[in-house]
Structure 1
Amino acid sequence: MQPSRFPKAVLFDLDGTLVDSAPDFIAVINRMRSDRGRGAMALEALRPVVSKGARAMLSAGFPDVEASERERWVQEFLDLYELELGLHGKPFDGIEAMLAALEANGSTWGIVTNKPEYLAKKLMPLLGWQTRCAVLVGGDTLPVRKPDPLPLLHAAQVIGVPAEACAYVGDDERDIVAARAAGMPSVVALWGYRLHEDDPFAWQGDVLIHEPGELCEAAAWPGVGA
Protein backbone atom coordinates (compact mmCIF):
# COMPACT_ATOMS: atom_id res chain seq x y z
CA MET A 1 0.00 0.00 0.00
CA GLN A 2 1.39 3.38 -1.03
CA PRO A 3 2.08 5.62 1.99
CA SER A 4 0.11 8.84 2.34
CA ARG A 5 1.86 11.88 0.92
CA PHE A 6 1.10 15.45 0.01
CA PRO A 7 0.49 16.20 -3.67
CA LYS A 8 3.44 17.55 -5.60
CA ALA A 9 1.32 20.61 -6.35
CA VAL A 10 -2.05 21.93 -5.23
CA LEU A 11 -4.21 24.41 -7.10
CA PHE A 12 -7.00 26.25 -5.32
CA ASP A 13 -10.12 28.17 -6.12
CA LEU A 14 -9.99 31.56 -4.38
CA ASP A 15 -13.34 32.92 -3.15
CA GLY A 16 -15.07 30.47 -0.85
CA THR A 17 -12.08 28.13 -0.80
CA LEU A 18 -9.02 30.05 0.37
CA VAL A 19 -10.66 33.35 1.28
CA ASP A 20 -13.90 34.24 3.01
CA SER A 21 -14.51 37.21 0.73
CA ALA A 22 -18.26 37.49 1.35
CA PRO A 23 -17.75 40.45 3.77
CA ASP A 24 -16.05 42.40 0.98
CA PHE A 25 -18.83 41.59 -1.46
CA ILE A 26 -21.67 42.49 0.89
CA ALA A 27 -20.00 45.88 1.38
CA VAL A 28 -20.14 46.35 -2.41
CA ILE A 29 -23.76 45.24 -2.76
CA ASN A 30 -24.85 47.44 0.12
CA ARG A 31 -23.08 50.46 -1.33
CA MET A 32 -24.94 49.85 -4.57
CA ARG A 33 -28.24 49.35 -2.74
CA SER A 34 -27.73 52.52 -0.73
CA ASP A 35 -26.98 54.49 -3.91
CA ARG A 36 -30.32 53.28 -5.24
CA GLY A 37 -32.27 54.16 -2.11
CA ARG A 38 -32.49 50.65 -0.74
CA GLY A 39 -31.77 49.25 2.70
CA ALA A 40 -28.89 46.93 3.55
CA MET A 41 -28.87 43.27 2.59
CA ALA A 42 -27.86 40.70 5.20
CA LEU A 43 -24.48 39.02 4.75
CA GLU A 44 -25.95 35.56 5.15
CA ALA A 45 -28.37 36.19 2.29
CA LEU A 46 -25.46 36.87 -0.08
CA ARG A 47 -22.95 34.30 1.15
CA PRO A 48 -24.42 31.24 -0.67
CA VAL A 49 -23.99 32.83 -4.13
CA VAL A 50 -20.54 34.42 -3.76
CA SER A 51 -18.79 31.59 -5.62
CA LYS A 52 -21.21 32.02 -8.53
CA GLY A 53 -19.71 35.40 -9.48
CA ALA A 54 -20.66 39.05 -9.88
CA ARG A 55 -23.84 38.49 -11.86
CA ALA A 56 -25.19 36.02 -9.33
CA MET A 57 -24.44 38.43 -6.50
CA LEU A 58 -26.16 41.28 -8.35
CA SER A 59 -29.15 39.02 -8.92
CA ALA A 60 -29.31 38.22 -5.21
CA GLY A 61 -28.94 41.87 -4.28
CA PHE A 62 -31.45 43.15 -6.83
CA PRO A 63 -33.83 40.26 -7.60
CA ASP A 64 -36.55 42.61 -8.89
CA VAL A 65 -34.31 44.25 -11.49
CA GLU A 66 -34.23 42.95 -15.06
CA ALA A 67 -31.12 40.92 -15.93
CA SER A 68 -30.34 43.27 -18.83
CA GLU A 69 -30.25 46.22 -16.43
CA ARG A 70 -28.09 44.35 -13.91
CA GLU A 71 -25.68 43.48 -16.70
CA ARG A 72 -24.97 47.19 -17.09
CA TRP A 73 -24.02 47.31 -13.41
CA VAL A 74 -21.29 44.63 -13.58
CA GLN A 75 -18.44 47.08 -14.14
CA GLU A 76 -19.70 49.29 -11.32
CA PHE A 77 -19.74 46.22 -9.09
CA LEU A 78 -16.14 45.37 -10.02
CA ASP A 79 -14.96 48.94 -9.56
CA LEU A 80 -16.49 49.13 -6.09
CA TYR A 81 -15.10 45.71 -5.23
CA GLU A 82 -11.62 46.91 -6.11
CA LEU A 83 -12.07 49.62 -3.46
CA GLU A 84 -13.30 47.13 -0.84
CA LEU A 85 -10.83 44.38 -1.77
CA GLY A 86 -9.35 42.73 1.30
CA LEU A 87 -10.77 45.29 3.73
CA HIS A 88 -13.29 42.96 5.36
CA GLY A 89 -12.66 39.39 4.20
CA LYS A 90 -9.80 37.13 5.24
CA PRO A 91 -8.55 33.56 4.77
CA PHE A 92 -10.80 30.93 6.31
CA ASP A 93 -9.67 29.58 9.66
CA GLY A 94 -7.07 26.88 9.07
CA ILE A 95 -6.00 28.04 5.61
CA GLU A 96 -2.69 29.55 6.69
CA ALA A 97 -1.79 26.40 8.65
CA MET A 98 -2.70 24.24 5.67
CA LEU A 99 -0.60 26.32 3.26
CA ALA A 100 2.31 26.18 5.68
CA ALA A 101 1.98 22.39 5.88
CA LEU A 102 2.07 22.12 2.08
CA GLU A 103 5.15 24.33 1.89
CA ALA A 104 6.89 22.45 4.69
CA ASN A 105 6.37 19.22 2.77
CA GLY A 106 7.73 20.60 -0.48
CA SER A 107 4.44 21.08 -2.30
CA THR A 108 3.96 23.94 -4.74
CA TRP A 109 0.62 25.74 -4.62
CA GLY A 110 -1.22 28.18 -6.85
CA ILE A 111 -4.63 29.63 -7.60
CA VAL A 112 -7.09 29.11 -10.46
CA THR A 113 -10.09 31.39 -10.03
CA ASN A 114 -12.88 32.83 -12.15
CA LYS A 115 -12.25 36.24 -10.54
CA PRO A 116 -10.74 38.72 -13.02
CA GLU A 117 -6.97 38.31 -12.98
CA TYR A 118 -6.20 41.94 -12.07
CA LEU A 119 -8.38 41.71 -8.95
CA ALA A 120 -6.96 38.36 -7.88
CA LYS A 121 -3.40 39.66 -8.32
CA LYS A 122 -4.18 42.81 -6.35
CA LEU A 123 -5.38 40.65 -3.45
CA MET A 124 -2.16 38.61 -3.19
CA PRO A 125 0.04 41.20 -1.37
CA LEU A 126 -2.85 42.05 0.94
CA LEU A 127 -2.74 38.43 2.09
CA GLY A 128 1.05 38.14 2.05
CA TRP A 129 0.85 35.51 -0.68
CA GLN A 130 2.52 37.35 -3.57
CA THR A 131 5.77 35.38 -3.29
CA ARG A 132 4.20 32.14 -2.05
CA CYS A 133 1.61 31.57 -4.77
CA ALA A 134 3.48 29.93 -7.65
CA VAL A 135 0.86 30.57 -10.34
CA LEU A 136 -2.32 32.60 -10.57
CA VAL A 137 -4.84 32.08 -13.37
CA GLY A 138 -7.86 34.37 -13.42
CA GLY A 139 -11.19 34.10 -15.14
CA ASP A 140 -9.99 36.28 -18.01
CA THR A 141 -6.41 35.02 -18.27
CA LEU A 142 -7.44 32.62 -21.04
CA PRO A 143 -10.33 32.64 -23.54
CA VAL A 144 -12.20 30.14 -21.32
CA ARG A 145 -12.79 29.75 -17.60
CA LYS A 146 -13.90 26.98 -15.25
CA PRO A 147 -15.68 24.58 -15.68
CA ASP A 148 -13.47 24.31 -18.76
CA PRO A 149 -10.33 22.39 -17.73
CA LEU A 150 -7.92 24.62 -19.70
CA PRO A 151 -7.18 27.06 -16.82
CA LEU A 152 -6.17 24.14 -14.58
CA LEU A 153 -4.08 22.55 -17.31
CA HIS A 154 -2.42 25.90 -18.04
CA ALA A 155 -1.57 26.41 -14.36
CA ALA A 156 -0.04 22.94 -14.14
CA GLN A 157 2.04 23.64 -17.25
CA VAL A 158 3.30 26.94 -15.82
CA ILE A 159 4.56 25.28 -12.64
CA GLY A 160 5.90 22.30 -14.54
CA VAL A 161 3.88 19.63 -12.78
CA PRO A 162 1.80 17.02 -14.67
CA ALA A 163 -1.93 17.49 -14.15
CA GLU A 164 -2.27 14.05 -12.59
CA ALA A 165 0.32 15.00 -9.96
CA CYS A 166 -1.69 18.07 -8.91
CA ALA A 167 -4.79 18.27 -6.75
CA TYR A 168 -7.48 20.91 -7.18
CA VAL A 169 -9.50 22.29 -4.26
CA GLY A 170 -12.77 24.13 -4.77
CA ASP A 171 -16.16 24.82 -3.23
CA ASP A 172 -18.30 24.90 -6.39
CA GLU A 173 -19.44 22.15 -8.73
CA ARG A 174 -17.69 23.79 -11.67
CA ASP A 175 -14.39 23.41 -9.79
CA ILE A 176 -14.86 19.67 -9.54
CA VAL A 177 -16.07 19.36 -13.13
CA ALA A 178 -12.97 21.22 -14.32
CA ALA A 179 -10.65 19.09 -12.22
CA ARG A 180 -12.15 15.85 -13.46
CA ALA A 181 -11.87 17.00 -17.10
CA ALA A 182 -8.24 18.00 -16.46
CA GLY A 183 -7.39 14.62 -14.95
CA MET A 184 -6.64 16.17 -11.56
CA PRO A 185 -7.71 14.59 -8.27
CA SER A 186 -10.19 16.93 -6.61
CA VAL A 187 -11.04 18.09 -3.10
CA VAL A 188 -14.51 19.47 -2.33
CA ALA A 189 -14.18 22.32 0.17
CA LEU A 190 -17.33 21.88 2.25
CA TRP A 191 -16.51 24.98 4.30
CA GLY A 192 -17.15 27.21 1.26
CA TYR A 193 -20.16 28.87 -0.32
CA ARG A 194 -23.03 26.96 -1.86
CA LEU A 195 -26.75 27.18 -2.38
CA HIS A 196 -29.12 25.28 -0.13
CA GLU A 197 -30.12 23.01 -3.02
CA ASP A 198 -26.52 22.18 -3.96
CA ASP A 199 -25.47 18.61 -3.22
CA PRO A 200 -21.67 18.47 -3.07
CA PHE A 201 -21.80 14.71 -2.58
CA ALA A 202 -23.18 14.45 -6.13
CA TRP A 203 -20.28 16.35 -7.66
CA GLN A 204 -18.09 13.22 -7.67
CA GLY A 205 -15.09 14.85 -6.04
CA ASP A 206 -12.35 12.48 -4.92
CA VAL A 207 -12.51 13.60 -1.29
CA LEU A 208 -14.81 15.91 0.66
CA ILE A 209 -13.24 17.95 3.46
CA HIS A 210 -15.13 19.83 6.17
CA GLU A 211 -12.40 22.12 7.50
CA PRO A 212 -9.15 23.43 5.97
CA GLY A 213 -7.16 22.19 8.95
CA GLU A 214 -7.88 18.60 7.94
CA LEU A 215 -5.61 19.18 4.93
CA CYS A 216 -2.61 19.68 7.20
CA GLU A 217 -2.35 15.89 7.17
CA ALA A 218 -1.07 14.03 4.12
CA ALA A 219 -3.64 11.27 4.61
CA ALA A 220 -6.51 13.68 3.91
CA TRP A 221 -5.41 14.33 0.32
CA PRO A 222 -6.58 12.18 -2.61
CA GLY A 223 -4.01 9.91 -4.19
CA VAL A 224 -2.14 11.56 -7.04
CA GLY A 225 0.12 10.41 -9.82
CA ALA A 226 3.87 10.49 -9.64
Structure 2
Amino acid sequence: MSFIPAPRAILFDLDGTLADTAPDLAAAVNQLRTERGLAPTPYEILRPTASAGARGMIGASFGLTPQDEGYEELRQGFFNNYEAAMSVHSTLFPGVANLLEGIATAGLAWGIVTNKPARFTDPLMPLIGLDHAACVVSGDTTAHAKPHPAPLLEAANRLGLPPEHCWYAGDDLRDIQAGHAAGMRTIACQWGYCGATEPTTWGADHLAATPDALLELLLAAVNRASLAA
Protein backbone atom coordinates (compact mmCIF):
# COMPACT_ATOMS: atom_id res chain seq x y z
CA MET A 1 0.00 0.00 0.00
CA SER A 2 1.34 3.44 -0.92
CA PHE A 3 2.05 5.89 1.89
CA ILE A 4 -0.87 8.15 2.80
CA PRO A 5 0.15 11.26 4.75
CA ALA A 6 -1.76 11.62 8.00
CA PRO A 7 -4.05 14.62 8.37
CA ARG A 8 -3.72 17.10 11.20
CA ALA A 9 -7.37 18.08 10.81
CA ILE A 10 -10.48 16.67 9.20
CA LEU A 11 -13.07 19.05 7.75
CA PHE A 12 -16.65 17.98 7.09
CA ASP A 13 -19.59 19.05 5.02
CA LEU A 14 -22.68 19.37 7.22
CA ASP A 15 -25.96 18.36 5.55
CA GLY A 16 -25.80 14.73 4.50
CA THR A 17 -22.37 14.15 5.99
CA LEU A 18 -22.50 14.81 9.72
CA ALA A 19 -26.18 15.66 10.08
CA ASP A 20 -29.33 14.10 8.64
CA THR A 21 -31.20 17.36 8.03
CA ALA A 22 -33.28 16.23 5.05
CA PRO A 23 -36.50 15.65 7.04
CA ASP A 24 -36.66 19.29 8.16
CA LEU A 25 -35.57 20.62 4.76
CA ALA A 26 -38.26 18.53 3.08
CA ALA A 27 -40.88 19.74 5.56
CA ALA A 28 -39.97 23.35 4.80
CA VAL A 29 -40.47 22.97 1.05
CA ASN A 30 -43.61 20.86 1.43
CA GLN A 31 -45.09 23.59 3.62
CA LEU A 32 -44.80 25.84 0.56
CA ARG A 33 -46.72 23.30 -1.49
CA THR A 34 -49.42 22.89 1.16
CA GLU A 35 -49.87 26.67 1.33
CA ARG A 36 -50.49 26.63 -2.43
CA GLY A 37 -52.98 23.78 -2.32
CA LEU A 38 -50.52 21.26 -3.75
CA ALA A 39 -49.83 17.73 -2.56
CA PRO A 40 -46.52 17.22 -0.72
CA THR A 41 -43.56 16.02 -2.77
CA PRO A 42 -42.62 12.48 -1.66
CA TYR A 43 -39.68 12.42 0.74
CA GLU A 44 -37.81 9.85 -1.35
CA ILE A 45 -37.69 12.41 -4.18
CA LEU A 46 -36.52 15.26 -1.95
CA ARG A 47 -33.91 13.46 0.15
CA PRO A 48 -31.22 13.02 -2.56
CA THR A 49 -31.30 16.78 -3.27
CA ALA A 50 -30.98 17.90 0.36
CA SER A 51 -27.27 18.72 0.11
CA ALA A 52 -28.14 21.33 -2.53
CA GLY A 53 -30.26 23.29 -0.03
CA ALA A 54 -32.96 25.63 -1.35
CA ARG A 55 -31.88 25.13 -4.96
CA GLY A 56 -32.20 21.36 -4.63
CA MET A 57 -35.43 21.35 -2.66
CA ILE A 58 -37.23 23.87 -4.87
CA GLY A 59 -35.94 22.23 -8.02
CA ALA A 60 -37.19 18.81 -6.96
CA SER A 61 -40.52 20.06 -5.59
CA PHE A 62 -41.46 22.82 -8.04
CA GLY A 63 -39.26 22.15 -11.07
CA LEU A 64 -37.80 25.67 -10.94
CA THR A 65 -34.22 26.90 -11.17
CA PRO A 66 -32.78 30.13 -9.74
CA GLN A 67 -33.21 31.72 -13.16
CA ASP A 68 -36.97 31.06 -13.31
CA GLU A 69 -39.72 33.50 -12.45
CA GLY A 70 -41.16 32.80 -9.02
CA TYR A 71 -38.05 31.05 -7.73
CA GLU A 72 -36.89 33.85 -5.44
CA GLU A 73 -40.28 34.10 -3.74
CA LEU A 74 -40.21 30.36 -3.08
CA ARG A 75 -36.63 30.58 -1.86
CA GLN A 76 -37.44 33.22 0.73
CA GLY A 77 -40.51 31.29 1.86
CA PHE A 78 -38.44 28.12 2.14
CA PHE A 79 -35.84 29.92 4.24
CA ASN A 80 -38.49 31.31 6.58
CA ASN A 81 -40.15 27.91 7.00
CA TYR A 82 -36.85 26.20 7.64
CA GLU A 83 -35.62 28.81 10.11
CA ALA A 84 -38.79 28.32 12.17
CA ALA A 85 -38.37 24.53 12.41
CA MET A 86 -34.82 23.49 11.57
CA SER A 87 -34.22 20.93 14.32
CA VAL A 88 -37.54 19.11 14.68
CA HIS A 89 -36.27 15.87 13.14
CA SER A 90 -32.62 16.65 12.30
CA THR A 91 -30.04 14.49 14.06
CA LEU A 92 -26.47 13.32 13.64
CA PHE A 93 -26.16 10.26 11.45
CA PRO A 94 -25.59 7.00 13.38
CA GLY A 95 -21.91 6.65 14.13
CA VAL A 96 -21.04 10.34 13.73
CA ALA A 97 -20.75 11.03 17.47
CA ASN A 98 -18.32 8.10 17.76
CA LEU A 99 -16.41 9.35 14.70
CA LEU A 100 -15.92 12.82 16.19
CA GLU A 101 -14.93 11.38 19.56
CA GLY A 102 -12.38 9.12 17.87
CA ILE A 103 -10.94 12.05 15.91
CA ALA A 104 -10.52 14.07 19.11
CA THR A 105 -8.95 11.11 20.92
CA ALA A 106 -6.43 10.76 18.09
CA GLY A 107 -5.39 14.37 18.66
CA LEU A 108 -6.83 15.71 15.41
CA ALA A 109 -8.86 18.88 15.02
CA TRP A 110 -12.16 18.84 13.15
CA GLY A 111 -14.32 21.52 11.64
CA ILE A 112 -17.27 22.14 9.34
CA VAL A 113 -17.36 23.71 5.89
CA THR A 114 -20.90 23.96 4.54
CA ASN A 115 -22.78 25.87 1.86
CA LYS A 116 -25.59 26.39 4.38
CA PRO A 117 -25.89 30.12 5.20
CA ALA A 118 -24.70 31.19 8.65
CA ARG A 119 -28.30 32.25 9.36
CA PHE A 120 -29.03 28.53 9.77
CA THR A 121 -25.64 27.02 10.55
CA ASP A 122 -24.93 29.03 13.68
CA PRO A 123 -28.17 28.26 15.56
CA LEU A 124 -28.31 24.66 14.33
CA MET A 125 -24.88 23.59 15.63
CA PRO A 126 -25.73 23.50 19.36
CA LEU A 127 -29.18 22.04 18.69
CA ILE A 128 -27.70 18.87 17.15
CA GLY A 129 -24.58 18.55 19.29
CA LEU A 130 -21.94 20.06 17.02
CA ASP A 131 -21.07 23.16 19.02
CA HIS A 132 -17.55 21.84 19.79
CA ALA A 133 -16.19 22.17 16.23
CA ALA A 134 -12.79 23.84 15.99
CA CYS A 135 -14.07 26.00 13.14
CA VAL A 136 -17.28 26.52 11.19
CA VAL A 137 -17.30 28.07 7.72
CA SER A 138 -20.75 28.69 6.25
CA GLY A 139 -21.85 29.27 2.67
CA ASP A 140 -21.73 33.04 3.07
CA THR A 141 -18.56 33.26 5.19
CA THR A 142 -16.40 33.82 2.11
CA ALA A 143 -17.12 35.45 -1.24
CA HIS A 144 -17.55 32.05 -2.90
CA ALA A 145 -19.30 28.82 -1.90
CA LYS A 146 -18.25 25.28 -2.77
CA PRO A 147 -17.14 23.95 -5.24
CA HIS A 148 -14.86 27.00 -5.06
CA PRO A 149 -11.93 26.26 -2.70
CA ALA A 150 -12.25 29.56 -0.78
CA PRO A 151 -14.34 28.17 2.12
CA LEU A 152 -11.94 25.26 2.64
CA LEU A 153 -8.92 27.53 2.50
CA GLU A 154 -10.59 29.80 5.06
CA ALA A 155 -11.15 26.82 7.36
CA ALA A 156 -7.50 25.77 7.08
CA ASN A 157 -6.45 29.33 7.84
CA ARG A 158 -8.65 29.41 10.93
CA LEU A 159 -7.09 26.17 12.10
CA GLY A 160 -3.61 27.55 11.45
CA LEU A 161 -2.76 24.68 9.11
CA PRO A 162 -1.56 24.40 5.52
CA PRO A 163 -4.43 23.07 3.36
CA GLU A 164 -2.48 19.93 2.49
CA HIS A 165 -2.55 18.95 6.17
CA CYS A 166 -6.35 18.84 6.12
CA TRP A 167 -8.70 16.20 4.73
CA TYR A 168 -12.21 17.05 3.57
CA ALA A 169 -15.20 14.69 3.75
CA GLY A 170 -18.54 15.25 2.05
CA ASP A 171 -21.52 13.61 0.40
CA ASP A 172 -21.71 15.71 -2.77
CA LEU A 173 -19.60 16.01 -5.92
CA ARG A 174 -19.05 19.70 -5.12
CA ASP A 175 -17.36 18.70 -1.87
CA ILE A 176 -14.81 16.59 -3.69
CA GLN A 177 -14.24 19.29 -6.32
CA ALA A 178 -13.70 21.91 -3.61
CA GLY A 179 -11.34 19.66 -1.68
CA HIS A 180 -9.21 18.94 -4.71
CA ALA A 181 -9.13 22.63 -5.67
CA ALA A 182 -7.94 23.47 -2.14
CA GLY A 183 -5.17 20.87 -2.25
CA MET A 184 -6.78 18.63 0.37
CA ARG A 185 -7.23 14.87 0.43
CA THR A 186 -10.90 14.03 -0.08
CA ILE A 187 -13.34 11.41 1.22
CA ALA A 188 -16.73 10.70 -0.39
CA CYS A 189 -19.24 9.78 2.31
CA GLN A 190 -21.51 7.12 0.84
CA TRP A 191 -23.97 7.19 3.76
CA GLY A 192 -25.13 10.70 2.80
CA TYR A 193 -27.56 12.10 0.24
CA CYS A 194 -25.08 11.93 -2.67
CA GLY A 195 -27.34 13.56 -5.29
CA ALA A 196 -27.82 12.22 -8.80
CA THR A 197 -24.40 10.64 -9.38
CA GLU A 198 -22.60 7.75 -7.74
CA PRO A 199 -19.80 8.71 -5.32
CA THR A 200 -17.56 6.20 -7.08
CA THR A 201 -17.52 8.56 -10.10
CA TRP A 202 -16.45 11.70 -8.23
CA GLY A 203 -12.70 11.08 -8.20
CA ALA A 204 -12.41 11.20 -4.41
CA ASP A 205 -9.20 9.96 -2.84
CA HIS A 206 -11.20 7.66 -0.57
CA LEU A 207 -14.70 6.23 -0.24
CA ALA A 208 -16.27 5.66 3.18
CA ALA A 209 -19.45 3.59 3.47
CA THR A 210 -20.04 4.51 7.13
CA PRO A 211 -18.71 6.93 9.76
CA ASP A 212 -16.99 3.97 11.41
CA ALA A 213 -15.20 3.18 8.14
CA LEU A 214 -14.08 6.81 7.89
CA LEU A 215 -12.69 6.72 11.43
CA GLU A 216 -10.82 3.49 10.62
CA LEU A 217 -9.31 5.14 7.54
CA LEU A 218 -8.17 8.19 9.52
CA LEU A 219 -6.71 6.18 12.38
CA ALA A 220 -4.85 3.92 9.96
CA ALA A 221 -3.24 6.97 8.33
CA VAL A 222 -2.29 8.39 11.73
CA ASN A 223 -0.80 5.07 12.87
CA ARG A 224 1.24 4.66 9.67
CA ALA A 225 2.62 8.17 10.04
CA SER A 226 3.50 7.48 13.68
CA LEU A 227 5.38 4.30 12.77
CA ALA A 228 7.25 6.10 10.00
CA ALA A 229 8.34 8.95 12.25
TM (norm. structure 1) is 0.91
- Count of residues in Structure 1 that have an aligned counterpart in Structure 2: 222
Indicate how the Cα distance of structure 1 residues 101 and 5 shifts in structure 2: closer, same or farther if over 3 A, else same.
farther
For residues 111 and 195 of structure 2, the distance between their equivalents in structure 1, rounded to whole angstroms, comes to: 26
Q: 2: CA distance between counterparts of 1:220 and 1:165?
A: 12
Residues 46, 60 of structure 1: 8 Å contact kept: yes
The aligned residue for residue 157 of structure 1 is 157
Q: Which residue of 1 aligns with 2:194?
A: 194
Separation in structure 2 between the aligned mates of residue 160 and residue 98 of structure 1, nearest angstrom: 22
CA distance in structure 1 between the partners assigned to 2:41 and 2:19 by the alignment: 21
Which residue number in structure 2 is paired with residue 39 of structure 1?
39
Residue in 2 aligned with 1:128? 129
- Which deviates more, 187-196 or 117-126? 187-196
| Alpha-carbon contact 2:189-2:207 (below 8 Å) kept | yes
Within a 5 Å distance, the mapping from 1:133-144 to structure 2 comes to: 133-144=133-144
Once the two structures are TM-superposed, the CA of residue 27 in structure 1 deviates from its matched residue by: 1.1
Find the aligned partners of 1:68 and 1:96 in 2 and give their Cα distance: 42
The alpha-carbon distance between structure 1 residues 78 and 173, as it changes in their structure 2 partners (threshold 3 A), is same
One-letter amino acid of the counterpart of residue 29, structure 1: V
Measured in 1, the distance between the counterparts of 2:56 and 2:148 equals 19
Unaligned runs of 5+ residues in structure 2 are: none
CA contact (8 A) 1:146 1:175 kept: yes
Return structure 1 stretches of 4+ with deviation > 3 angstroms. 1-6
Residue matched to 2:12: 12
Instruction: Encode CA deviations 1:127-165: one digit per residue, 9 max, x unaligned.
Output: 2222x1011111111110101101101100001111111
RMSD: 2.3
Structure 1 residues not aligned, in runs of 5+: none
Q: Name the counterpart of 2:75.
A: 74
Identity among equivalent positions (%) equals 43
TM-score under structure 2 normalisation? 0.90
Q: Is the 8 A contact 1:14 1:113 kept in 2?
A: yes
Instruction: Output one character per residue of 1:48-98: Cα deviation in whole Å (capped at 9) or x when no partner.
Output: 111122022112111279922122221111111111111111111110100
